[in-house]
Structure 1
Amino acid sequence: MRILIVNSDPEQSDVLDRVLRIEGYATDRVATGIDALITSARPQIALAIISVDLGQMSGFEVCRRLRQAGNTIPVLLLGGSTPVIDRVFGLDSGADDFLCEPFDVAELAARVRALLRRSAMGRGRRYQVGGVVLDTWGHAVTVAGRRVSLSPKEASLFRLLCLRVGSTVDRASILAEVWDGTADIDPNIVDQYISYLRRKIDPDDAGVRILTMRGRGYTLQVAPSNPQRSPPETGQKAVSDVTL
């Protein structure tokens, strides 16, 4: 996925670029509102992170013009010396989320993932990893052609793992995104729901497995082929990465 960074401060733009690339995203960087309007129209741009303070054309105005032009790209606005007023103004201008400065890079990454997830759900897209297909409109997966019912939380957790396939997702991130960071939730609930998913999604049939990375979190990985199982029929292809 490619994310557009719109920021006139070179140092902050560099920080955003490093954070997003560590998370596995490709980036485009511009410094002005005009360039933001032009670049955001490219079909490969999945999301825009726009600074409020851009000089001649503010981030608020960029959002307003994007929406007037019918561009529905998810927008995360950054900035604001008066957080409440700026947040309200930003959302009314068409932004999907607003993050006040100074911000924590982990929170920035989590908000980006949340916006991309909501965007994918709104378009009714499907996630496919190995032999598992998750329909974002429903709470079910298809495993080797067999439909498996998931609860809303199970589906949200599996979708998060799909988006980060091959990467370790820590418990804090899972709680923040699947349970909205609710303070009174027992962190052990994550282990419980991972167990539920493992019972429902057989790695031999699904071609994926959920690994426990002790002290770090969980990773969804494409499972190695089992030589004792029947090979796929002629013409079938094994899917070894996420298809969005």
Structure 2
Amino acid sequence: MSDDLPTGRIIVLDDDVEIRNMLQRFLTAQGFSVRAVKTGIELDVLIERYPFDLLILDIMMPGEDGLSICRRLRARRETIPILMLTARGDPADKVVGLEIGADDYLAKPFLPSELIARVRAMLRRQQFQVRLQNVRGEMLLAGESQCLRFGAFRLDVRRRELMSDEAGTVELGAAEMRLLCALAETPNRPVSRANLIERARGSQYEASARSVDVQVLRLRQVIETEATSPRHIRTVWGLGYMLVATPN
């Protein structure tokens, strides 16, 4: 498989039969293996039975809409990359979709070439993450810890689990967990906001420094005794943020 032109298994969810069939035909012609469904129930059945590398998800659907489906998938820790399609032009809708766990966003109408470019970029990031996880797994088998401790918390980077000495498993939103793991890649070293966005989402992801600040605030509200006087996620003025931690 070429890294420049990755193939992958894609599932499309759109209630519009013409759009659904068009996407399936077009993506199949580009070399992808594609399944198409029209409801969240059908989606659940397929992703339980078969592995997929990418979900293309329409937002505006009757019944359970795309935002609700995305939120539900992330709540049960489904990690499949999600590309959202929508006719909505309101930037607030884009922010909501990305904040609840979507990985990219494409507004209708779109150029087929842009869809393919985004799909391939997302699959390349997915392939990179799989390779990185394999390397980390080998490091773990070799005896190198993938856990970091800060205060009363322990982060298992491989499993993406945050544990508290007092309360056990700590539930974090998908965006906050990605950000925390991004900080954990280089503990005790400052990371710029732009670098955090790229680590957590990929270089093709568009986000503002403000969105990173909001996610950092949410993390601090969970792990800091005083969110206004943080000990674990510190602001490094002029640079970005730093996770103060030690190997477990």
TM-score scaled by length of structure 1? 0.50
**Structure (1/2) with the larger helix percentage:** 2
TM-score by length of 2: 0.49
Which structure has the larger Rg over C-alpha atoms? 1
